[in-house]
Amino acid sequence: MADLFSADWMAAFADHWNAEDDLTGPLGDIGFNSVIGYGFPDDDQPAGVLVVENGKAVSGGAYNGEDLNWDIRASADQWNKWIAKPPGMMGLGAAFTTGKMKFKVGDYGSMLKDPRMAKPFIKSFSVMGKV
What residue spans define the domains of the chain? Answer: 7-128
- Are 97 and 88 contacting, i.e. CB atoms less than 8 angstroms apart? no
pLDDT above 60 for 11:
yes
Do 34 and 71 contact (CB within 8 A), yes or no? Answer: no
pTM beyond 0.75: the answer is yes
CA atoms within 13 A on the CB side of 14: 23
Report, as an integer, the average pLDDT of 68-80. Answer: 94
How long a stretch of residues is the chain?
Answer: 131
Q: Between residues 57 and 102, which one has the greater pLDDT? A: 57
Helix (H) or strand (E) holding 52: strand 48-53
Phi, psi values for residue 63, rounded to 5°: -65, 135
Cα angle, residue 17 at apex, residues 49 and 88 outer, rounded to 5°: 95
Res 49: pLDDT: 98
Phi, psi values for residue 60, rounded to 5° = -145, 135
Q: Which CATH entry fits the domain spanning 7-128: 3.30.1050.10, 3.40.190.10, 3.40.50.2300, 3.40.50.300?
A: 3.30.1050.10
* Helices (runs of H) and strands (runs of E) counted in the chain: 6, 5
Q: What is the pLDDT of residue 2?
A: 60
Contact 69, 35 (CB under 8 A): yes
pLDDT attached to residue 92: 79
